[in-house]
């Protein structure tokens, strides 16, 4: 498993190509049960085409098969609460609705680029749900879980992971969050 064709891409099993994964992503993949890790494929891409719009155009991947993982945080009683949020590229994260309520904070916001990179050990533009800090919840929009295949970052801009949406629920800390993804404003 782990070999998929999506758009113009053909993946290879991710477990066999750690060079296309950030260190925390490779470690997380290795720690998963084989029946889960075998569902992840990886492909090398041009890092200049890693951002969603350029990626989907260049590699003929539909937007509704591409997912974005962002880091969201807020404070409550002096404590910072952080989560990874995963939504389809056709939507945006409802930061001050669903994510804020789940984190139980007064106000939530996207983590600063520098903080997101430092906290995850991944490259900006390649942040992925696999390998996030274990104490964080991984909030996953239900549309992502329903996708037959979804393209994700690999922790580095020169790679992409591909997996069935349902496989993401097996990741540590993953929990479905209805309404996390809301229509993107044009």
Q: Are 84 and 140 in contact (CB under 8 A)?
A: no
Q: For residue 12, give both structure tokens.
A: 């290879």
- Rg over alpha carbons for the chain, rounded to the nearest Å, is 15
Burial 72-108 (b: 16+ CB within 10 A, else e): bbbeeeeeebbbbbbbbbbbbbbbeebbbebbebeeb
Domain boundaries, the chain: 5-168
Q: Are 163 and 39 in contact (CB under 8 A)?
A: yes
- What pLDDT score was predicted for residue 186? 59
Give the number of other Cβ atoms within 10 Å of residue 185's Cβ. 5
Burial 118-127 (b: 16+ CB within 10 A, else e): ebbbbbebbb
In whole angstroms, give the CA distance from residue 52 to residue 176: 23
12: phi then psi, degrees, rounded to nearest 5: -120, 160
Q: Write out the chain's pLDDT in tens, 186 residues.
A: 678 999 999 999 999 999 999 999 999 999 999 999 999 999 999 999 999 999 999 999 999 999 999 999 999 999 999 999 999 999 999 999 999 999 999 999 999 999 999 999 999 999 999 999 999 999 999 999 999 999 999 999 999 999 999 999 999 999 999 999 999 875
pTM confidence score: 0.95
Topology of the domain covering 5-168:
YbaK protein (3.90.960)
In whole angstroms, give the CA distance from residue 56 to residue 66: 8
Coil, strand, or helix at residue 179? coil
Q: Are 24 and 74 in contact (CB under 8 A)?
A: no
């Amino acid at each position: 498993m782990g070999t998929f064709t999506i758009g113009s891409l053909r993946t290879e099993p991710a477990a066999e190509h750690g060079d296309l994964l950030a260190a925390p992503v490779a470690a997380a993949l290795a720690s998963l049960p084989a029946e889960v890790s075998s569902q992840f494929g990886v492909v090398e891409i041009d890092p200049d085409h890693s951002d969603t719009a350029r990626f989907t155009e260049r590699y003929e991947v539909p937007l509704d098969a591409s997912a974005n993982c962002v880091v969201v945080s807020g404070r409550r009683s002096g404590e910072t609460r952080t989560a990874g949020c995963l939504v389809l590229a056709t939507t945006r994260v409802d930061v001050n609705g669903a994510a804020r309520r789940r984190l139980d904070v007064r106000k939530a916001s996207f983590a600063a680029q520098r903080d997101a990179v430092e906290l995850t050990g991944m490259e900006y533009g390649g942040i992925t749900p696999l390998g996030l800090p274990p104490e964080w919840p991984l909030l996953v929009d239900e549309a992502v879980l329903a996708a037959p295949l979804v393209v994700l970052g690999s922790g580095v801009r020169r790679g992409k992971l591909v997996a069935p949406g349902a496989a993401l629920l097996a990741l540590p800390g993953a929990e479905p969050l209805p309404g996390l993804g809301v229509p993107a404003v044009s």
